[in-house]
Amino acid sequence: MFKNEKTWGTFVENNSTDEFHKKFDGAIEEIRKDFGRNYPVIIGGKEVFSNNQFQVRSPADKNLILANFPLASKEDALHAIGTAKDAFYKWSLVTYEKRVQIFREVADIFAQDKFRLAAILSFENGKNRLEAMGDLDESIDFMRFYAEQLEENQGFSKETHSANKNEKTRSVLKPYGVWGVISPFNFPSAISIGMSVGALIMGNTVVLKPSSDSPISAFKFVEAIYSKLPPAAVNFVTGSGKIVGQTILESPLVSGIAFTGSKEVGISGFNTFVGSTPRPFISEMGGKNPAIIAKTADLEKATDGVLRAAFGYSGQKCSACSRVYVQKDVAGQFVEKLVAKTRLLKIGKPWEKDSYVSPVINESAMKKFQKAVDLAKKGGKIVCGGSIPSDPQLKNGNFVEPTIVVGLPKDHELVREELFVPFVCVEEFDSFDEAIAESNKSNYGLTAGIFSQDKTEIESFLNKIEAGVTYVNRSASATTGAMVGAQPFVGWKDSGISGKGAGGAYYLLQFVREQTQTRCE
């Protein structure tokens, strides 16, 4: 029976959080030995090194060179696609029972090595300890949950009723072929693994192109699994999105794409990939996620929920809360409490025990933050944050202050557009219908939350909100923190194309197509 990993929660329940931190500290010392290592691409079942490389530096300390990866060429990407195509039939004919076994074995490997893998992730993309471990837990959950789904559905093959006495008919879901998997920086383990496993466990082969900001975690997955599969069933290719990613999107040998990233890149990729041939394109493309705070809300829970959703991993989650609609009766109290709690958050190196606020991923994100601050000063009022931290220990990292803005016009670009930085806009509303209407004005529809004690308002929210993942009175996080198997992660409108949620019962069906088999006696 599937059960979420929940490492930190288990240590809390066992009153052994000191042991968690001791293990994390030990893992940090261990992984430091590998800093600056040269990594290969993996194509056709072989590790291939190159002198043409790019460096991976920690966003928390850009003086730390974590790894060197090959800057793959178009020819490298085409080779990976070609070998994946050649490997398809061999892998697709492996029994579903064997595929289930393989992914459970890899999940166990990750579970045994989770502290070291989480520590790598913390340096690589800047997540604090708890966020990094959550990323690893989700990776393990994806492998185990999808294995269970495949097993429970007996490989998605079943008999149908016979239309004629001399016929026996069966419906079989079969893999497409080669899938290109293009993963983002913010969940370098969970999302790259979740998409790759979805394709692989259903019998497809994969060419995985990770974000150049955080390729180490994706490599660790491919390193753990590729020798367990037929050669070239999974390929790992690093490099430029304009070269490697574009080559994958343009190749006629690629049967499907799984993508997570920005709306602009996703829509462009979709148009390129399906322009002349109908092929599946699974995407999750961000959000501008609202939280509604009604006058009956518990403001302690509401401020905790918004703070964690807005500033966890510095707002660099597709599900981050970036706009809040508060009823005028309690707006002043809400903002006062939220500001007070935000000012207590510790900005620091993410691998340090007490750090909460992470760095943003790169220079481009820093510039986006500064642009947002400038716009906020002109159009509204910054009541918290809005600066670069002055702590000299943070000067080599991409650190910014969690920022709260009030008083912006309701149609301001900061209220409409996804920023992916720790920046939240607080707006006031009179009637509940107004709050729903403003929440739904966005082109995005990923997550949404509400804090209210009015059952009628809650039902109205759930009935009318245009979002794929919703939360009611959730102090743990108003809009983030979906758990595999419990809360399928699905985007509506411009937040996604398929309408099927990762970590849900319908996700695997996207990687296969139905074949009806009728045999006559």
The pair phi, psi for residue 118, each rounded to 5°, is -70, -40
CA angle 434/320/209 to nearest 5° reads 135
Taking the alpha carbons of 129, 71, 203, 490 in that order, is the dihedral positive or negative? positive
Residue 300: its H or E element: helix 299-311
User: Strand 41-43 and strand 46-48: pairing?
Assistant: antiparallel
Cα separation, 69 vs 64, whole angstroms: 15
Buried b (16+ CB within 10 A) or exposed e, 194-220: bbbbbbbbbbbbbbbbbbbbbbbbbbb
Taking the alpha carbons of 18, 309, 209, 515 in that order, is the dihedral positive or negative? positive
Please pick, among 284, 401, 428, 457, the residue that the annotation labels catalytic.
Answer: 284
- Starting at the earlier edge strand, list the strands of the sheet with 41-43: 46-48, 41-43, 234-236, 205-209, 178-182, 254-260, 281-284
Strand partners, 157: 172
N-terminal to C-terminal alpha carbon distance within the chain: 40
Has 318 been annotated as catalytic? yes
Please pick, among 131, 318, 428, 457, the residue that the annotation labels catalytic.
Answer: 318
Q: Are 380 and 406 in contact (CB under 8 A)?
A: yes
Cα separation, 359 vs 398, whole angstroms: 5
Cα separation, 366 vs 255, whole angstroms: 37
Q: Which amino acid is at 145?
A: F
- How many angstroms separate the Cα of 29 from the Cα of each of 36, 115, 380? 14, 11, 45
Cα separation, 422 vs 405, whole angstroms: 11
Coil vs helix vs strand at 37? strand
- How many angstroms separate the Cα of 185 from the Cα of each of 37, 71, 218, 313? 20, 17, 10, 12
- Starting at the earlier edge strand, list the strands of the sheet with 289-293: 381-384, 403-406, 423-429, 321-327, 289-293, 447-451, 469-472
- Residues taking part in catalysis: 284, 318
